[in-house]
Amino acid sequence: MNKEVLLNKINDFTYKIPKEYDVNMNTDAILFSNESMLSTIKKDDSIQQLINMATLPGVVGNVCAMPDIHYGYGFPIGGVAAFDAKEGVVSPGGVGYDINCGVRLIKTDLLYKDVRDKIELIINTLFKYIPAGVGSRKGSSSLKLTVSDMNEILSEGANWAIAHGYGYEKDKEVIEESGKMIGVDTSSVSEKAKERGLTQIGTIGGGNHFIEIQVVDEILDAPFAKRCGIHSKDQIVIMIHTGSRGTGHQIGTDYISIMNKSLSKYKISIVDKQLALAPIESEEGMKYISAMRAGANFAWANREVITDMVRKAFSEVFRKEDELLGIDVVYDIAHNIAKIEKHKVSGSERNLLVHRKGATRAFPAGNENVAERYRDIGQPVLIPGDMGTNSYILYGLPDAMNLSFGSTCHGAGRMMSRAAATRKFSYNDVKNKLNENGIYIRSASKEGIVEEAPGAYKNVNEVVAIAEGAGLSKISVKLRPIGVMKG
Protein backbone atom coordinates (compact mmCIF):
# COMPACT_ATOMS: atom_id res chain seq x y z
CA MET A 1 0.00 0.00 0.00
CA ASN A 2 1.31 3.43 -0.94
CA LYS A 3 0.02 5.41 2.01
CA GLU A 4 -0.79 4.79 5.66
CA VAL A 5 -4.45 3.86 5.98
CA LEU A 6 -6.58 5.99 8.29
CA LEU A 7 -7.80 3.49 10.90
CA ASN A 8 -10.04 5.08 13.50
CA LYS A 9 -10.19 3.00 16.67
CA ILE A 10 -13.82 2.46 17.74
CA ASN A 11 -13.02 0.13 20.64
CA ASP A 12 -10.40 -2.46 21.58
CA PHE A 13 -11.65 -4.84 18.86
CA THR A 14 -13.02 -2.58 16.13
CA TYR A 15 -11.46 -0.12 13.68
CA LYS A 16 -13.09 2.02 11.01
CA ILE A 17 -11.79 3.35 7.72
CA PRO A 18 -14.15 6.27 6.98
CA LYS A 19 -15.43 6.62 3.44
CA GLU A 20 -13.80 10.05 3.30
CA TYR A 21 -10.44 8.29 3.21
CA ASP A 22 -10.83 7.46 -0.48
CA VAL A 23 -12.92 9.38 -3.00
CA ASN A 24 -14.08 6.10 -4.53
CA MET A 25 -15.49 4.68 -1.30
CA ASN A 26 -19.28 4.55 -1.03
CA THR A 27 -19.37 3.50 2.60
CA ASP A 28 -17.22 3.01 5.70
CA ALA A 29 -15.06 -0.09 6.07
CA ILE A 30 -14.94 -1.89 9.43
CA LEU A 31 -12.05 -4.09 10.54
CA PHE A 32 -12.40 -6.34 13.59
CA SER A 33 -8.96 -6.61 15.14
CA ASN A 34 -6.87 -5.63 18.11
CA GLU A 35 -3.66 -3.63 18.18
CA SER A 36 -1.31 -6.62 18.24
CA MET A 37 -3.09 -8.32 15.32
CA LEU A 38 -3.00 -5.12 13.24
CA SER A 39 0.75 -5.34 12.75
CA THR A 40 0.33 -8.76 11.16
CA ILE A 41 -2.65 -7.72 9.02
CA LYS A 42 -0.75 -4.75 7.61
CA LYS A 43 1.94 -6.99 6.12
CA ASP A 44 -0.14 -7.72 3.01
CA ASP A 45 -2.57 -5.69 0.89
CA SER A 46 -5.74 -7.10 2.44
CA ILE A 47 -6.73 -3.75 3.98
CA GLN A 48 -6.57 -2.18 0.51
CA GLN A 49 -8.87 -4.95 -0.70
CA LEU A 50 -11.26 -4.08 2.14
CA ILE A 51 -11.21 -0.47 0.95
CA ASN A 52 -11.87 -1.66 -2.60
CA MET A 53 -14.96 -3.51 -1.36
CA ALA A 54 -16.34 -0.20 -0.13
CA THR A 55 -16.12 1.23 -3.68
CA LEU A 56 -18.57 -1.28 -5.15
CA PRO A 57 -21.82 0.13 -6.56
CA GLY A 58 -24.97 -0.36 -4.53
CA VAL A 59 -23.25 -1.53 -1.36
CA VAL A 60 -25.61 -1.43 1.65
CA GLY A 61 -24.35 -0.61 5.15
CA ASN A 62 -20.69 -0.96 6.01
CA VAL A 63 -18.32 -3.48 4.49
CA CYS A 64 -16.32 -5.37 7.10
CA ALA A 65 -13.46 -7.80 7.59
CA MET A 66 -12.82 -10.38 10.25
CA PRO A 67 -9.66 -10.71 12.40
CA ASP A 68 -8.43 -13.59 10.22
CA ILE A 69 -8.33 -11.27 7.19
CA HIS A 70 -5.65 -11.90 4.59
CA TYR A 71 -5.03 -11.24 0.92
CA GLY A 72 -7.39 -12.96 -1.50
CA TYR A 73 -8.78 -12.63 -5.01
CA GLY A 74 -10.93 -9.49 -5.26
CA PHE A 75 -12.33 -9.46 -1.74
CA PRO A 76 -9.86 -10.16 1.05
CA ILE A 77 -10.39 -13.50 2.72
CA GLY A 78 -12.44 -12.53 5.75
CA GLY A 79 -14.53 -9.96 3.85
CA VAL A 80 -18.29 -9.37 4.20
CA ALA A 81 -20.43 -7.06 2.05
CA ALA A 82 -24.16 -6.76 1.38
CA PHE A 83 -26.16 -5.47 -1.57
CA ASP A 84 -29.87 -4.89 -2.15
CA ALA A 85 -31.31 -8.18 -3.42
CA LYS A 86 -33.01 -6.50 -6.39
CA GLU A 87 -31.02 -3.40 -7.22
CA GLY A 88 -27.57 -4.50 -6.09
CA VAL A 89 -24.70 -6.40 -7.67
CA VAL A 90 -23.11 -9.82 -7.25
CA SER A 91 -19.36 -10.44 -7.43
CA PRO A 92 -17.77 -13.90 -7.77
CA GLY A 93 -14.64 -12.45 -6.15
CA GLY A 94 -16.76 -11.83 -3.06
CA VAL A 95 -17.49 -15.55 -2.81
CA GLY A 96 -14.20 -17.05 -3.91
CA TYR A 97 -13.17 -19.84 -6.23
CA ASP A 98 -13.93 -22.56 -3.68
CA ILE A 99 -17.68 -22.03 -3.46
CA ASN A 100 -19.05 -23.33 -0.15
CA CYS A 101 -15.68 -24.15 1.23
CA GLY A 102 -16.93 -24.97 4.69
CA VAL A 103 -16.59 -26.92 7.90
CA ARG A 104 -18.48 -29.90 9.27
CA LEU A 105 -18.11 -31.14 12.84
CA ILE A 106 -19.00 -34.69 13.81
CA LYS A 107 -19.24 -35.84 17.42
CA THR A 108 -18.65 -39.33 18.78
CA ASP A 109 -19.16 -40.98 22.17
CA LEU A 110 -15.52 -42.09 22.16
CA LEU A 111 -12.99 -40.68 24.60
CA TYR A 112 -9.29 -40.02 24.17
CA LYS A 113 -8.40 -43.22 26.04
CA ASP A 114 -10.37 -45.18 23.43
CA VAL A 115 -8.45 -43.80 20.44
CA ARG A 116 -5.04 -42.93 21.90
CA ASP A 117 -3.38 -46.10 20.60
CA LYS A 118 -5.37 -46.20 17.37
CA ILE A 119 -4.75 -42.74 15.89
CA GLU A 120 -2.37 -43.91 13.21
CA LEU A 121 -4.72 -46.72 12.24
CA ILE A 122 -7.70 -44.33 12.11
CA ILE A 123 -5.90 -41.84 9.85
CA ASN A 124 -4.62 -44.59 7.57
CA THR A 125 -8.12 -46.07 7.34
CA LEU A 126 -9.52 -42.66 6.45
CA PHE A 127 -6.97 -42.50 3.63
CA LYS A 128 -8.22 -45.86 2.40
CA TYR A 129 -11.77 -44.55 2.09
CA ILE A 130 -11.23 -40.88 1.18
CA PRO A 131 -8.87 -39.63 -1.55
CA ALA A 132 -6.95 -36.45 -0.75
CA GLY A 133 -4.51 -34.10 -2.44
CA VAL A 134 -4.38 -31.43 -5.13
CA GLY A 135 -6.15 -32.71 -8.22
CA SER A 136 -7.19 -35.94 -6.48
CA ARG A 137 -9.24 -37.62 -9.15
CA LYS A 138 -10.48 -40.85 -7.71
CA GLY A 139 -13.55 -40.52 -5.57
CA SER A 140 -15.11 -43.20 -3.40
CA SER A 141 -14.77 -46.52 -5.18
CA SER A 142 -18.53 -47.08 -5.15
CA LEU A 143 -19.28 -43.71 -6.80
CA LYS A 144 -19.43 -43.97 -10.57
CA LEU A 145 -20.96 -40.67 -11.65
CA THR A 146 -22.51 -39.67 -14.95
CA VAL A 147 -23.34 -36.17 -16.18
CA SER A 148 -26.95 -36.96 -15.20
CA ASP A 149 -25.74 -37.72 -11.65
CA MET A 150 -23.85 -34.43 -11.64
CA ASN A 151 -26.97 -32.50 -12.58
CA GLU A 152 -28.81 -34.17 -9.69
CA ILE A 153 -25.98 -33.36 -7.28
CA LEU A 154 -25.92 -29.72 -8.40
CA SER A 155 -29.67 -29.51 -7.84
CA GLU A 156 -30.10 -31.65 -4.73
CA GLY A 157 -26.88 -31.26 -2.71
CA ALA A 158 -26.69 -33.45 0.39
CA ASN A 159 -30.13 -34.85 -0.48
CA TRP A 160 -28.56 -36.66 -3.43
CA ALA A 161 -25.93 -38.30 -1.21
CA ILE A 162 -28.49 -39.39 1.39
CA ALA A 163 -30.87 -40.73 -1.26
CA HIS A 164 -28.02 -42.86 -2.59
CA GLY A 165 -27.16 -44.32 0.80
CA TYR A 166 -24.39 -41.93 1.83
CA GLY A 167 -25.54 -40.58 5.18
CA TYR A 168 -28.79 -40.29 7.11
CA GLU A 169 -31.90 -38.14 6.81
CA LYS A 170 -31.18 -36.73 10.29
CA ASP A 171 -27.94 -35.22 8.95
CA LYS A 172 -29.91 -32.64 6.96
CA GLU A 173 -31.35 -31.18 10.16
CA VAL A 174 -27.96 -29.74 11.09
CA ILE A 175 -26.63 -28.66 7.70
CA GLU A 176 -26.94 -25.03 6.67
CA GLU A 177 -29.82 -24.71 4.17
CA SER A 178 -30.59 -28.36 5.03
CA GLY A 179 -27.80 -29.19 2.59
CA LYS A 180 -29.56 -27.82 -0.49
CA MET A 181 -29.87 -24.33 -1.95
CA ILE A 182 -32.90 -23.92 -4.17
CA GLY A 183 -33.04 -21.88 -7.37
CA VAL A 184 -30.56 -23.91 -9.41
CA ASP A 185 -30.69 -24.18 -13.20
CA THR A 186 -27.96 -26.68 -14.05
CA SER A 187 -27.56 -25.16 -17.53
CA SER A 188 -25.86 -22.21 -15.77
CA VAL A 189 -22.95 -24.54 -14.94
CA SER A 190 -20.54 -25.18 -17.80
CA GLU A 191 -19.86 -28.66 -19.09
CA LYS A 192 -16.22 -28.24 -18.05
CA ALA A 193 -17.27 -27.47 -14.45
CA LYS A 194 -19.45 -30.58 -14.43
CA GLU A 195 -16.70 -32.75 -15.90
CA ARG A 196 -14.20 -31.57 -13.29
CA GLY A 197 -16.52 -32.75 -10.53
CA LEU A 198 -17.35 -36.18 -11.95
CA THR A 199 -14.53 -37.88 -10.06
CA GLN A 200 -14.30 -35.56 -7.06
CA ILE A 201 -17.35 -36.29 -4.91
CA GLY A 202 -16.07 -37.78 -1.67
CA THR A 203 -12.60 -36.21 -1.92
CA ILE A 204 -10.76 -33.70 0.27
CA GLY A 205 -8.46 -31.94 -2.17
CA GLY A 206 -5.33 -30.05 -1.20
CA GLY A 207 -4.37 -26.69 0.28
CA ASN A 208 -5.75 -26.08 3.75
CA HIS A 209 -8.39 -28.82 3.47
CA PHE A 210 -8.27 -31.62 5.98
CA ILE A 211 -9.95 -34.15 8.20
CA GLU A 212 -8.89 -33.91 11.84
CA ILE A 213 -9.46 -36.17 14.80
CA GLN A 214 -9.83 -33.79 17.72
CA VAL A 215 -10.22 -33.99 21.48
CA VAL A 216 -12.43 -31.73 23.58
CA ASP A 217 -9.84 -29.70 25.46
CA GLU A 218 -12.09 -27.36 27.42
CA ILE A 219 -15.81 -26.68 27.73
CA LEU A 220 -16.47 -22.99 28.36
CA ASP A 221 -20.24 -22.92 27.85
CA ALA A 222 -21.72 -26.21 29.07
CA PRO A 223 -25.37 -25.65 28.01
CA PHE A 224 -24.40 -24.89 24.42
CA ALA A 225 -21.83 -27.70 24.34
CA LYS A 226 -24.48 -30.14 25.56
CA ARG A 227 -26.81 -29.05 22.76
CA CYS A 228 -23.99 -29.89 20.35
CA GLY A 229 -23.65 -33.37 21.85
CA ILE A 230 -20.43 -32.42 23.65
CA HIS A 231 -20.73 -33.83 27.15
CA SER A 232 -17.21 -34.16 28.55
CA LYS A 233 -13.58 -33.21 28.34
CA ASP A 234 -11.53 -35.72 26.30
CA GLN A 235 -14.49 -36.55 24.05
CA ILE A 236 -13.51 -37.30 20.44
CA VAL A 237 -14.86 -35.25 17.53
CA ILE A 238 -14.02 -35.16 13.82
CA MET A 239 -13.69 -31.94 11.83
CA ILE A 240 -13.95 -31.87 8.02
CA HIS A 241 -12.82 -28.84 6.01
CA THR A 242 -13.32 -28.94 2.24
CA GLY A 243 -15.50 -27.46 -0.47
CA SER A 244 -16.72 -27.74 -4.05
CA ARG A 245 -13.43 -28.87 -5.53
CA GLY A 246 -12.87 -28.41 -9.29
CA THR A 247 -16.53 -27.73 -9.98
CA GLY A 248 -16.65 -24.65 -7.76
CA HIS A 249 -13.30 -23.41 -9.03
CA GLN A 250 -14.45 -23.67 -12.64
CA ILE A 251 -17.71 -21.86 -11.89
CA GLY A 252 -15.69 -19.01 -10.39
CA THR A 253 -13.30 -18.96 -13.34
CA ASP A 254 -16.14 -18.96 -15.88
CA TYR A 255 -18.14 -16.14 -14.34
CA ILE A 256 -15.25 -13.84 -13.47
CA SER A 257 -14.41 -13.92 -17.18
CA ILE A 258 -18.04 -13.44 -18.24
CA MET A 259 -18.59 -10.52 -15.87
CA ASN A 260 -15.38 -8.72 -16.80
CA LYS A 261 -16.56 -8.77 -20.41
CA SER A 262 -20.03 -7.46 -19.51
CA LEU A 263 -18.97 -4.48 -17.34
CA SER A 264 -19.17 -2.00 -20.23
CA LYS A 265 -22.63 -3.27 -21.13
CA TYR A 266 -23.90 -2.08 -17.74
CA LYS A 267 -21.68 1.02 -17.68
CA ILE A 268 -19.98 -0.17 -14.49
CA SER A 269 -16.41 0.74 -13.59
CA ILE A 270 -14.41 -1.01 -10.87
CA VAL A 271 -11.08 -0.21 -9.21
CA ASP A 272 -9.80 -3.78 -9.53
CA LYS A 273 -10.67 -6.22 -12.31
CA GLN A 274 -10.72 -9.01 -9.71
CA LEU A 275 -13.93 -7.42 -8.42
CA ALA A 276 -15.78 -8.36 -11.64
CA LEU A 277 -19.51 -8.08 -11.01
CA ALA A 278 -22.92 -7.77 -12.59
CA PRO A 279 -26.32 -6.47 -11.49
CA ILE A 280 -28.10 -9.19 -9.54
CA GLU A 281 -31.11 -9.17 -11.84
CA SER A 282 -29.07 -9.12 -15.05
CA GLU A 283 -28.70 -12.26 -17.15
CA GLU A 284 -25.09 -12.66 -16.00
CA GLY A 285 -25.98 -12.02 -12.38
CA MET A 286 -28.86 -14.48 -12.27
CA LYS A 287 -26.86 -17.17 -14.04
CA TYR A 288 -23.94 -16.78 -11.63
CA ILE A 289 -26.20 -16.96 -8.58
CA SER A 290 -27.74 -20.16 -9.97
CA ALA A 291 -24.29 -21.63 -10.69
CA MET A 292 -22.96 -20.58 -7.28
CA ARG A 293 -25.88 -22.31 -5.58
CA ALA A 294 -25.15 -25.40 -7.66
CA GLY A 295 -21.51 -25.27 -6.54
CA ALA A 296 -22.66 -24.96 -2.92
CA ASN A 297 -24.85 -28.03 -3.37
CA PHE A 298 -21.89 -29.95 -4.79
CA ALA A 299 -19.89 -29.08 -1.67
CA TRP A 300 -22.64 -30.25 0.68
CA ALA A 301 -22.95 -33.51 -1.24
CA ASN A 302 -19.18 -33.87 -1.06
CA ARG A 303 -19.05 -33.39 2.71
CA GLU A 304 -22.01 -35.74 3.17
CA VAL A 305 -20.28 -38.53 1.23
CA ILE A 306 -17.06 -37.88 3.18
CA THR A 307 -19.05 -38.15 6.41
CA ASP A 308 -20.37 -41.53 5.32
CA MET A 309 -16.79 -42.66 4.65
CA VAL A 310 -15.70 -41.36 8.07
CA ARG A 311 -18.46 -43.47 9.66
CA LYS A 312 -17.31 -46.52 7.69
CA ALA A 313 -13.67 -45.97 8.68
CA PHE A 314 -14.49 -45.68 12.40
CA SER A 315 -16.77 -48.72 12.21
CA GLU A 316 -13.95 -50.70 10.65
CA VAL A 317 -11.37 -49.63 13.22
CA PHE A 318 -13.63 -50.15 16.27
CA ARG A 319 -15.63 -53.07 14.81
CA LYS A 320 -18.92 -51.49 15.76
CA GLU A 321 -21.76 -49.86 13.84
CA ASP A 322 -21.44 -46.07 13.74
CA GLU A 323 -24.69 -45.68 15.72
CA LEU A 324 -23.10 -47.58 18.60
CA LEU A 325 -20.14 -45.19 18.48
CA GLY A 326 -22.44 -42.17 18.74
CA ILE A 327 -21.23 -40.69 15.45
CA ASP A 328 -23.51 -37.76 14.56
CA VAL A 329 -23.18 -34.49 12.68
CA VAL A 330 -23.05 -31.48 15.01
CA TYR A 331 -23.26 -28.83 12.29
CA ASP A 332 -22.12 -27.99 8.76
CA ILE A 333 -21.64 -24.43 7.59
CA ALA A 334 -20.25 -22.59 4.57
CA HIS A 335 -17.74 -19.78 4.73
CA ASN A 336 -17.50 -18.89 1.00
CA ILE A 337 -20.98 -18.01 -0.24
CA ALA A 338 -23.50 -15.28 -1.13
CA LYS A 339 -27.01 -15.60 0.27
CA ILE A 340 -30.22 -13.60 0.25
CA GLU A 341 -31.06 -12.73 3.86
CA LYS A 342 -33.25 -10.27 5.77
CA HIS A 343 -31.36 -7.62 7.71
CA LYS A 344 -32.28 -4.32 9.34
CA VAL A 345 -30.54 -1.34 7.77
CA SER A 346 -31.21 2.14 9.19
CA GLY A 347 -34.20 0.73 11.05
CA SER A 348 -35.85 -0.91 8.04
CA GLU A 349 -35.79 -4.61 7.16
CA ARG A 350 -34.43 -5.32 3.69
CA ASN A 351 -33.66 -8.35 1.56
CA LEU A 352 -29.93 -8.31 0.94
CA LEU A 353 -27.46 -10.48 -0.97
CA VAL A 354 -24.76 -10.95 1.67
CA HIS A 355 -21.34 -11.98 0.35
CA ARG A 356 -19.17 -13.87 2.85
CA LYS A 357 -15.69 -14.82 1.72
CA GLY A 358 -13.70 -16.53 4.44
CA ALA A 359 -16.38 -15.49 6.92
CA THR A 360 -18.94 -17.62 8.77
CA ARG A 361 -22.59 -16.86 9.28
CA ALA A 362 -23.16 -16.35 13.03
CA PHE A 363 -26.88 -15.91 13.61
CA PRO A 364 -28.14 -15.57 17.20
CA ALA A 365 -30.89 -17.37 19.07
CA GLY A 366 -34.36 -16.79 17.66
CA ASN A 367 -33.33 -16.33 14.03
CA GLU A 368 -35.56 -18.33 11.69
CA ASN A 369 -32.58 -19.35 9.56
CA VAL A 370 -30.93 -21.23 12.43
CA ALA A 371 -31.49 -25.00 12.42
CA GLU A 372 -34.38 -25.93 14.70
CA ARG A 373 -32.11 -27.86 17.09
CA TYR A 374 -30.19 -24.66 17.87
CA ARG A 375 -32.79 -21.96 17.20
CA ASP A 376 -33.44 -21.16 20.86
CA ILE A 377 -29.76 -21.03 21.80
CA GLY A 378 -27.85 -19.73 18.75
CA GLN A 379 -26.22 -21.06 15.62
CA PRO A 380 -23.01 -23.08 15.98
CA VAL A 381 -19.91 -21.48 14.49
CA LEU A 382 -17.07 -23.87 13.60
CA ILE A 383 -13.58 -22.35 13.58
CA PRO A 384 -10.65 -24.57 12.60
CA GLY A 385 -7.17 -23.59 13.66
CA ASP A 386 -4.07 -24.71 11.81
CA MET A 387 -3.15 -28.37 12.02
CA GLY A 388 -1.05 -27.91 15.15
CA THR A 389 -3.30 -25.72 17.27
CA ASN A 390 -6.77 -25.46 18.73
CA SER A 391 -10.08 -25.35 16.89
CA TYR A 392 -13.27 -23.92 18.38
CA ILE A 393 -17.03 -24.18 18.56
CA LEU A 394 -18.67 -20.79 19.06
CA TYR A 395 -22.20 -19.50 18.61
CA GLY A 396 -23.69 -16.36 17.13
CA LEU A 397 -24.51 -13.29 19.23
CA PRO A 398 -27.29 -10.70 18.70
CA ASP A 399 -24.88 -7.80 18.12
CA ALA A 400 -23.43 -9.56 15.09
CA MET A 401 -26.62 -8.82 13.16
CA ASN A 402 -25.97 -5.08 13.38
CA LEU A 403 -22.18 -5.17 13.30
CA SER A 404 -21.41 -7.66 10.53
CA PHE A 405 -24.65 -8.86 8.94
CA GLY A 406 -24.52 -11.81 11.33
CA SER A 407 -20.97 -12.87 10.45
CA THR A 408 -17.79 -13.85 12.25
CA CYS A 409 -14.33 -15.29 11.48
CA HIS A 410 -13.74 -18.59 9.66
CA GLY A 411 -10.34 -19.81 10.86
CA ALA A 412 -6.88 -18.74 11.95
CA GLY A 413 -6.10 -16.90 8.72
CA ARG A 414 -2.80 -17.06 6.88
CA MET A 415 -0.04 -14.62 7.72
CA MET A 416 2.47 -16.16 5.32
CA SER A 417 2.03 -17.23 1.70
CA ARG A 418 2.45 -20.86 0.71
CA ALA A 419 5.64 -19.97 -1.17
CA ALA A 420 7.04 -18.20 1.90
CA ALA A 421 6.09 -21.16 4.11
CA THR A 422 7.92 -23.52 1.74
CA ARG A 423 11.05 -21.36 2.01
CA LYS A 424 10.91 -21.15 5.81
CA PHE A 425 9.80 -24.61 6.94
CA SER A 426 10.92 -28.15 6.15
CA TYR A 427 8.77 -31.25 5.93
CA ASN A 428 10.70 -33.17 8.59
CA ASP A 429 10.76 -30.25 11.04
CA VAL A 430 7.01 -29.65 10.77
CA LYS A 431 6.13 -33.33 11.02
CA ASN A 432 8.50 -33.95 13.93
CA LYS A 433 7.18 -30.94 15.83
CA LEU A 434 3.60 -32.14 15.40
CA ASN A 435 4.55 -35.62 16.54
CA GLU A 436 6.27 -34.16 19.62
CA ASN A 437 2.98 -32.44 20.45
CA GLY A 438 1.07 -35.71 20.20
CA ILE A 439 -0.35 -35.11 16.71
CA TYR A 440 -0.08 -37.84 14.10
CA ILE A 441 -0.19 -36.46 10.57
CA ARG A 442 -0.37 -38.08 7.17
CA SER A 443 -0.51 -36.08 3.96
CA ALA A 444 -0.94 -36.93 0.28
CA SER A 445 2.20 -34.85 -0.35
CA LYS A 446 5.09 -33.29 1.51
CA GLU A 447 4.03 -29.91 0.13
CA GLY A 448 0.67 -30.34 1.85
CA ILE A 449 2.43 -30.32 5.21
CA VAL A 450 5.03 -27.63 4.58
CA GLU A 451 2.68 -25.11 2.96
CA GLU A 452 0.23 -25.50 5.83
CA ALA A 453 2.79 -25.36 8.65
CA PRO A 454 1.33 -23.94 11.87
CA GLY A 455 3.83 -21.08 11.72
CA ALA A 456 2.22 -19.83 8.50
CA TYR A 457 -0.99 -18.92 10.33
CA LYS A 458 -2.18 -16.31 12.80
CA ASN A 459 -2.85 -17.31 16.39
CA VAL A 460 -6.35 -18.80 16.28
CA ASN A 461 -6.79 -18.26 20.03
CA GLU A 462 -6.36 -14.52 19.49
CA VAL A 463 -8.62 -14.53 16.42
CA VAL A 464 -11.59 -16.06 18.26
CA ALA A 465 -10.95 -13.84 21.29
CA ILE A 466 -11.23 -10.77 19.04
CA ALA A 467 -14.44 -12.10 17.48
CA GLU A 468 -15.85 -12.61 20.98
CA GLY A 469 -14.61 -9.25 22.22
CA ALA A 470 -16.21 -7.50 19.24
CA GLY A 471 -19.55 -9.10 20.10
CA LEU A 472 -19.80 -11.30 17.00
CA SER A 473 -19.68 -14.78 18.52
CA LYS A 474 -19.22 -16.53 21.87
CA ILE A 475 -16.67 -19.26 22.56
CA SER A 476 -18.24 -22.51 23.72
CA VAL A 477 -15.79 -25.40 23.26
CA LYS A 478 -12.04 -25.56 22.72
CA LEU A 479 -10.70 -28.53 20.73
CA ARG A 480 -7.19 -29.82 20.03
CA PRO A 481 -5.98 -32.07 17.20
CA ILE A 482 -4.50 -35.51 17.73
CA GLY A 483 -4.67 -36.87 14.18
CA VAL A 484 -4.59 -35.02 10.85
CA MET A 485 -5.35 -36.14 7.30
CA LYS A 486 -4.06 -33.60 4.77
CA GLY A 487 -4.10 -33.26 1.02
On the question of pLDDT at 381 being above 80, the answer is yes
Task: Check whether 2 has a pLDDT greater than 60.
Answer: no
- In the predicted model, is pLDDT for residue 266 greater than 60? yes
Of the candidates 252, 293, 301, the residue with the CA atom closest to the CA atom of residue 153 = 301
Cα angle for residues 336, 415, 439 (degrees, 5° grid)? 85
Read off the pLDDT of residues 205-216 as tens digits, 9 standing for 90 and up: 988 999 999 999
Confidence at residue 139, expressed as pLDDT on a 0 to 100 scale: 46
Pick the CATH number of 8-486 from 3.40.50.2000, 2.70.98.30, 3.40.50.970, 3.90.1860.10: 3.90.1860.10
Reported as a pLDDT band with limits 50, 70 and 90, residue 359 is very high
Does position 449 have pLDDT exceeding 50, yes or no?
A: yes
Mapped to the 3 state alphabet, what secondary structure does the chain carry? CCCCCCCEEEECCEEEECHHHCCCCCCCEEEECCHHHHHHHCCCCHHHHHHHHCCCCCEEEEEEEEEEEECCCCCCEEEEEEEECCCCEECHHHCCCCCCCEEEEEEEEEEHHHHCCCHHHHHHHHHHHCCCCCCCCCCCCCCCCCHHHHHHHHHHCHHHHHHCCCCCHHHHHHEHHHHCCCCCCHHHCCHHHHHHHCCCCCCCCCCCCEEEEEEEEEECCHHHHHHCCCCCCCEEEEEEEECCHHHHHHHHHHHHHHHHHHCHHHCCCCCCHHHCCEECCCHHHHHHHHHHHHHHHHHHHHHHHHHHHHHHHHHHHHCCCHHHHCCEEEEEEECEEEEEEEEEECCEEEEEEEEEECCEECCCCCCCCCCHHHCCCCCEEEECCCCCCCEEEEEECCHHHHHHCCEECCCCCECCCHHHHHHHCCHHHHHHHHHHCCCEEEECCHHHHHCCCHHHECCHHHHHHHHHHCCCEEEEEEEEEEEEEEC
pLDDT at residue 6, rounded to an integer: 83
pLDDT tens per residue across span 71-85? 999 999 999 999 999
The answer to whether residue 1 scores a pLDDT higher than 50 is no
- How much of the chain, in percent, has pLDDT values that exceed 70? 97
Tell me whether residue 410 is one of the annotated catalytic residues. Answer: yes
C-alpha pair distances (Å), 123 with each of 214, 292, 301, 302? 12, 32, 22, 19
Residue 329: the pLDDT is 98
**Reported confidence tier of residue 186, pLDDT bands at 50, 70, 90:** very high
The chain-wide mean pLDDT, for the chain, equals: 95
Say whether pLDDT at 137 is over 70.
no
What average pLDDT does range 178-203 have in this prediction?
97
Residue 370: band (very low, low, confident or very high) from pLDDT cuts 50, 70, 90: very high
Contact 292, 91 (CB under 8 A): no
* pTM summary value: 0.96
